[in-house]
């Protein structure tokens, strides 16, 4: 794990986290008994995650090849996306992780007018309800270690105009309040989501909204959440934004970027078709490029050893195998989709050969 960025006071934040000698945040050095890439990261693996349950079912049914593919997802530390009334779930996760001397990754995704009313519509019905929801997360974490990715898409949707103008300033102020609440916790690290390189191409447009959202009180920003942009492209993008913000640190979601984004039109029976997934119908500027695109692959496994002082971690923030929405044959957003999970794992295996 790289040394902390400039967003918050390092002495106050880091001192309580030294659970293992000479470990920053105790992410790289506190190793438990779980499998997967957590041995390189100190991040917590949920032993009962959807992929793990699916792998057990497949093995019981004698589908050993599928079970082996599914373990490529099941054995990795993956973020937990929090639902309504999150206090008890957050407490369970952070207590489970603490017993293994590990750190869980949580995603707060409940902002009012979430996803501009599209596939992942929902969220809190008011600012007051949202802040109560954040208080539940704070209560559930307590003084235990946690990484919180705050509100995927929320800032980029302000920048791209998806959010109605009267709601933009209040949204940024709401995010700032959420950051202030979460940053008061001694062992919690907060990363504000900042979209991806394929969305807001000019990083300068993100600077003011991030400042208004409390990046100065956070530990950094998150990039490529639930998207497919290559790590190298995202790294360069993040470095530009980091410098514009005063060398703020960042994290990158590598969960599904092994083959990069969908960039070409394909048709039925095309050689680009992957596994049992259907073909896309439009070019990469349409929703098919980000909503369950076929032919994608798992990316590099989660790790806090990035080799870049500005990048705190490569994480799997999106759960590989959960649908982006009712597009390209997928179930509703957030629903587990076995066929897509297998496709991601199968393509990653082929890419590694």
CB within 8 A of 46, min separation 6: which ones?
Answer: 52, 78, 80, 93, 96
Q: Rounded to whole angstroms, what are the CA distances from 317 to 10, 33, 343? A: 25, 22, 18
What is the pLDDT, as a whole number, of residue 103? 98
Q: Which residues contact 260 (CB under 8 A, 6 or more apart)?
A: 228, 229, 230
3-state secondary structure of 303: strand
Say which residue, 283 or 252, is predicted with more confidence: 252
Site of tokens 């995650």: 49
Above 70 in pLDDT, residue 126?
A: yes
- Residue count (the chain): 353
Tell me what pLDDT residue 351 has. 60
CA quadruple 251, 255, 256, 257: dihedral, nearest 10? 40
Strands (E), 10-98: 80-81
In terms of phi and psi (left: phi > 0; alpha: psi -120 to 50; beta: otherwise), the region of 274 is beta
Q: What whole-number distance in Å separates Cα of residue 159 and Cα of residue 153?
A: 10
The C-alpha atoms of residue 131 and residue 133 are separated, in whole angstroms, by 5
pLDDT tens-place string over residues 138-197: 999 999 999 999 999 999 999 999 999 999 999 999 999 999 999 999 999 999 999 999
**d(C-alpha 74, C-alpha 69), whole Å:** 9
Q: Which helix (H) or strand (E) holds 137?
A: helix 127-141
Q: Which helix (H) or strand (E) holds 311?
A: strand 311-315
Confidence label for 227 from pLDDT (cuts 50, 70 and 90): very high
**pLDDT of 120:** 79
Point out the residues that are catalytic. Answer: 153, 324
For residue 43, the cross-strand partners are: 103
Using DSSP's 3-state secondary structure scheme, residue 122 falls into coil
Torsion of CA 351, 36, 323, 120, to 10 degrees: -130
Report the distance separating Cα 1 and Cα 24, nearest Å.
6
The pTM for the full model equals 0.86
Return binding residues.
Answer: 81, 199, 227, 290, 318, 322
Which residues line the annotated binding site for substrate? 81, 199, 227, 290, 318, 322
Q: What mean pLDDT do residues 91-110 have?
A: 98
The per-residue b/e assignment along 178-207, b for 16 or more CB within 10 angstroms, e otherwise, is: bbebbbebbbbbbbbbbbbbbbbeebeebb
The structural domains of the chain, with segments of one domain joined by +, span 10-352
Summarised one tens digit per residue, pLDDT across range 2-17 is 433 445 533 333 333 3
Q: In CATH, what number does 10-352 get?
A: 3.20.20.40
d(CA 40, CA 256): 19
Helix (H, G, I), strand (E, B) or coil at 174: helix
Paired strand residues for 12 = none
Burial class (CB in 10 A: 0-12, 13-18, 19+), 99: exposed
């Amino acid at each position: 794990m790289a040394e902390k960025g400039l967003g918050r006071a390092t002495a106050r934040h880091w001192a309580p986290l030294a659970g293992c000698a000479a470990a920053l945040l105790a992410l790289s050095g506190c190793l438990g008994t779980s499998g997967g890439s957590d041995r390189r990261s100190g991040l917590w693996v949920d032993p009962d995650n959807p992929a793990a349950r699916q792998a057990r079912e497949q093995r019981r049914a004698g589908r050993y090849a599928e079970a082996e593919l599914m373990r490529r997802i099941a054995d990795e530390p993956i973020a937990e996306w929090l639902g309504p009334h999150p206090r008890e779930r957050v407490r369970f996760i952070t207590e489970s992780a603490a017993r293994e001397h590990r750190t869980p990754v949580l995603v707060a995704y409940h902002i009012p007018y979430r996803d501009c009313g599209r596939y992942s519509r929902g969220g809190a019905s008011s600012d007051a309800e949202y802040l109560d929801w954040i208080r539940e997360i704070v209560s559930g974490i307590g003084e235990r270690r946690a990484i919180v990715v705050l509100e995927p898409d929320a800032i980029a949707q302000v920048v791209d105009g998806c959010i109605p103008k009267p709601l933009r300033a209040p949204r940024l102020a709401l995010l700032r309040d959420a950051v202030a609440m979460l940053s008061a916790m001694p062992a919690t690290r907060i990363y504000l989501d900042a979209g991806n390189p394929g969305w807001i191409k000019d990083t300068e447009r993100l600077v003011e909204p991030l400042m208004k959202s409390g990046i100065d009180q956070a530990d950094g920003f998150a990039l490529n959440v639930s998207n497919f942009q290559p790590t190298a492209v995202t790294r360069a993008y993040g470095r530009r934004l980091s410098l514009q913000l005063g060398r703020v640190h960042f994290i990158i979601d590598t969960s599904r970027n092994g083959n990069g984004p969908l960039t070409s039109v394909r048709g039925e029976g095309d050689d680009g078709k992957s596994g049992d997934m259907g073909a896309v119908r439009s070019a990469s500027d349409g929703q098919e490029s980000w909503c369950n695109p076929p032919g994608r692959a798992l990316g590099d496994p989660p790790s806090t050893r990035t080799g870049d002082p500005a990048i705190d971690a490569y994480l799997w923030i999106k759960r590989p195998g959960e649908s982006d929405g009712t597009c390209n044959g997928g179930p509703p957003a957030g629903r587990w989709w076995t066929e897509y999970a297998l496709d991601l794992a199968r393509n990653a295996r082929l890419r590694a050969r």
